[in-house]
Amino acid sequence: MGEPGPRPAIELLDVHKSFGDQSVLAGVSLVVPEGTTCALLGVSGSGKTVLMKLIDGLLQPDRGTVRVAGEDLSRLGVVDLDRVRRKLGILFQGGALFDSLTVFDNVAFPLRERARLPERQVRERVRRALALVDLEAAADQYPGELSGGMLKRAAFARAMVLEPSVLLYDDPTAGLDPLKTRSVVDVMLMGKQQLHATSLVITPDVATAFEVGDHLALLHEGRIVEHAAPDAFRQSRHPAVRAFLHDWLERRAQHASSDSTASH
């Protein structure tokens, strides 16, 4: 017998979630092994962010099981749920930084609120996190003084300062131009190499998904219709996957054409 594979860090088993009469998730099953990065694709409104909130324990499924680090979230009380959530680092779509705090204090916030570390250790870990994303020089600036790419990097530093075992990214490159997108992708890849964390990257952007994902999944009509390594995903015969990739290629070609026209 061979060596056992990595244990699941995230498991969703037949998960259903509705809001009123609207069914958002209709039997989602997804396993993300420890130490891997899963890029979750889907059109806007397909339920990707709802799925992330289920993993974070902010929402409860109507039916099905959500496990993080082997623990069924629905069976946990408030104290144990908070303990599991400390294993998660979350990069929200807008960054969600506090405008009234400096970059340093934004990154320090989860350490001061949740880890209760001595201030000397807080400062050391914040400096380390800011160095990782090349923002040491911006430590005393406020979010309103930062570019979009710098905001994303500051939010990443805050997400990883607790040294989580699982990182959740909610559309990390949304609204960024190609250069800023590149810098965020580089930070994600660096974080993967240095933290060895399990990552779930929720994105509609196929290019980002193929670059950062060890495996890709497509959420379509409330279910995961494909979950495979990049090459296998690219070759998928599932009609929803083929349509999603085709639409993305068309949008990219149109964008390149409009950029070329604008430059002349």
- Indicate which CATH number applies to the domain containing 29: 3.40.50.300
**Rg over CA atoms, the chain:** 19
DSSP 197: -
Residue 155 in domain: no
Domain limits for position 25 = 1-87+166-173+199-264
Residue 238 in domain: yes
Residue 213 in domain: yes
Residue 196: per-residue pLDDT: 82
Residue 255 in domain: yes
Please provide the distance, in angstroms rounded to a whole number, between the alpha carbons at the two ends of the chain: 63
Contact 154/143 with Cβ under 8 angstroms?
A: yes
Per the structure, how many domains does the chain have? 1
Contact 212/192 with Cβ under 8 angstroms?
A: yes
CA max distance for the chain: 63
Residue 186 in domain: no
> Which pairs with CB-CB distance under 8 Å and at least 24 residues apart come from 135-143?
135/103, 138/103, 139/102, 139/103, 139/104, 140/102, 140/103, 140/104, 141/102, 141/103, 142/99, 142/100, 142/101, 142/102, 142/103, 143/95, 143/97, 143/98, 143/99, 143/101, 143/103, 143/106
Q: Hey, which residues does 254 pair with through a beta bridge?
A: none
- Residue 198 backbone dihedrals phi, psi, to 5 degrees: -80, 135
Helix axes 119-132, 178-195, angle to 10 degrees: 130
Which residues of the chain register pLDDT less than 50?
none
Q: How far is CA 34 from CA 76, 133, 149, in A?
A: 21, 23, 28
Residue 189 in domain: no
The tokens of 17 are what?
């979630």
Residue 2: per-residue pLDDT: 53
The closest of 161, 101, 100, 175 to 131, measured between CA atoms, is 161
Residue 95: per-residue pLDDT: 63
Residue 260: per-residue pLDDT: 57
Which DSSP helix (H) or strand (E) runs through 16?
Answer: strand 8-19
Rounded to two decimals, the pTM is 0.84
Residue 118 in domain: no
Residue 151 in domain: no
Which DSSP helix (H) or strand (E) runs through 135?
Answer: none
Q: How crowded is residue 171: how many other Cβ atoms within 10 Å of its Cβ?
A: 20
